[in-house]
Amino acid sequence: MKPRRGSFATPGRDQEARRATGFRRRALLIGAAQIGAMGYLASRLYRLQITEGGRYATMAESNRVSGRLLAPPRGRIIDRAGVVLAGNRLNWRALLIPEETPDIAAALDAFAQLVPLPDHERARVEREMHKHRRFIPLMLREFLSWEEMARIEVNAPDLPGIVVDLGTTREYPFGPKFAHMVGYVAPPNEADVAADPLLSLPGMRVGRAGIEFSQEASLHGSAGSVQLEVNAVGRVIREISRTEGQRGADVALTIDAELQQNVLDVLGDESASAVVLDARNGEVLALTTTPSFDPSLFNSGVSGAQWKEWTSNRAAPLINKATSGLYPPGSTFKMAVALAALEARTLTVNDHINCPGYLDLGDTRFHCWSKNGHGMLNLRGGLKNSCDVFFYEVARRTGIDKIAAMSHRLGLGVPLDIELPGVRGGLIPTREWRMARGHAWNIGDTIVTGIGQGYIQVSPLQLATYVARLSTGRIIQPHLVRAVDGRMRAGADAADWPVLDIPERDLRAVREGMWAVVNEQGGTAPIARLANPVVQLAGKTGSSQVRRVSREQREHGFKSENLPWEFRPHALFVCFAPYDQPRYSVAVVVEHGNAGAAAAAPLGRDIMQAALRLDPAARAGQKLALGDPRAAVPTGGAR
């Protein structure tokens, strides 16, 4: 029987079927692989474009745009008329941005071949790299010359991450003339940066003394930013955007720059200090110390030789003697003793005390400056002649605690709230103070306190405040800051200060004694008399010993001017004017000047003459018509 057609496959057809099946399988595998690959690519594209698109865009942009923070300009310090005492000038500087520097050591080597980079500066840069984030620019060199700046710019392709920046640096137009008051700035230290990260910016400075220090928060401002387009080697192509920082506020002082210059001219080469106050409201119009120093040196760095010169100078140019120098007030203290006695009723204006030239207390003899004595004197005569015996006796009657209490009310031996660092409060001793140190107070201590000697220590600023208070009868506080960012501070009017709790009759008695010192025949300071009789000055001389004079020295004709400079007495003079309407108070201390009448009184007169002529407290008003102070003929004592 023949087989039915189609019931059995032929060998050729079986082979063809197998091939078709294999093809389909391979096609499915390839298709699956293609779908998988496409899926993977799609997921990667999604991740790149959507999930991480922002990060990659930023990374791409960083190859083209460089962002930097900008140090804000520091606020200015100006005088009462707007004269700049501390300002800013342009400063080319080289910065290193670690984040943009592949090989920092090589970059520094290349930079040092173009611009000198001392080893200690390189070490500083390497230290700072470990302290700050890598995107914060680090200062390589400041105060670049035009040639140095050009060399860096020309070689920019070989200096990746090193850029030239134009900033500002502190400038003091008057140099040493305002140094102790205005102060100076210096680069911030680690503690400063930890407290305020803004200070890590290149070019930032921190106030280290004076107004620069006390008003730091107002002066330093807030940072800005700039975006720059750079090429592959870091060369700046153009500036894309800039947000300026907020500059620091301007601080206006009560100081009058012209008067300050006049006072410095009067002091000359003396180791001295002088203060001029507006006696009605406590504004400090001049605050001078000689010798002084150049504050700009602290901005760029003080050399070891310069520091040694300053610290070895016996006249101490770095110390603000007007606020931090402490001296026995000598006879300028006698007004405080008189007011304490008048209040305690241990003395009246008509009481008379005999001066034979000395006061004996047990085995101790206390001498008057006048060897022959002054005879019988009342309060006016005691002040006029600056009689030591008169005030020995007044102090003995009154007691140290009452004298101290009156002195504190007048501004002596107490901290004065003036806007400067390092202001010293001085000392008016009391029984309690002495006992706290393990010693009893004795009557001899009281007696020498009566003439401003012993343990008493006061500053020239306190002396000027003391005279302002007793001349006006108001408890003025000296102050230096007049306005910040155009906003006036309180205290510009006399009515801002309370009335001193001392009877006017007592104040008048003391003022009359000070007037007699200068304007009556036989006073100790006729040399301080103003030439114009319409405008009169009242004052008081003082001479404070810095070492004890023995009885043997007195018996052998001792003269303090023959001593070495550092052993001579300090010379002092305090005054106010005009007498009938007090406007200005002045205090002058000449270190080791010997006699107040000879050394300090002429300086006080000339300083007061300048204050009255310039009249900074009433600039818009009519100037006082004054004569030549040299026309006053000196006569009388030499205390």
Nearest to 283 by CA among 255, 251, 323: 255
Q: Which strand (E) or helix (H) includes residue 253?
A: strand 251-253
User: By the 8 A CB rule, do 372 and 503 touch?
Assistant: no
State how far the Cα of 206 lies from the Cα of 170, in Å rounded to an integer.
11
Burial of 235 (0-12, 13-18, 19+ CB in 10 A): middle
- Bridge partner list, 327: 458
Three-class SS of 95-148: EECHHHCCCHHHHHHHHHHHCCCCHHHHHHHHHHHHHCCCCCCEEEECCCCHHH
List all residues 6 or more positions away from 25 whose beta carbon is below 8 Å from its beta carbon.
none
State how far the Cα of 614 lies from the Cα of 539, in Å rounded to an integer.
20
Tell me which residue has tokens 């007169």: 605
State how far the Cα of 580 lies from the Cα of 519, in Å rounded to an integer.
13
In 172-249, DSSP assigns E strands to: 185-186, 206-207, 224-230, 236-243
- State the greatest distance between any 2 C-alpha atoms of the chain, in Å, as a whole number: 179
List all residues 6 or more positions away from 257 whose beta carbon is below 8 Å from its beta carbon.
79, 81, 83, 85, 174, 178
State how far the Cα of 91 lies from the Cα of 230, in Å rounded to an integer.
22
State how far the Cα of 227 lies from the Cα of 212, in Å rounded to an integer.
31
User: By the 8 A CB rule, do 295 and 609 touch?
Assistant: no
Burial 452-491 (b: 16+ CB within 10 A, else e): bbbbbbbbbbbbbbbbbbbbbbbbbbbbbbbbbeeeeeeb
Side chain identity at 556, as an amino acid letter? H
Q: Which residues are catalytic?
A: 331
Q: For the chain, first and last CA: distance in Å?
A: 166
- Bridge partner list, 443: none
Tell me which residue has tokens 């107490």: 414
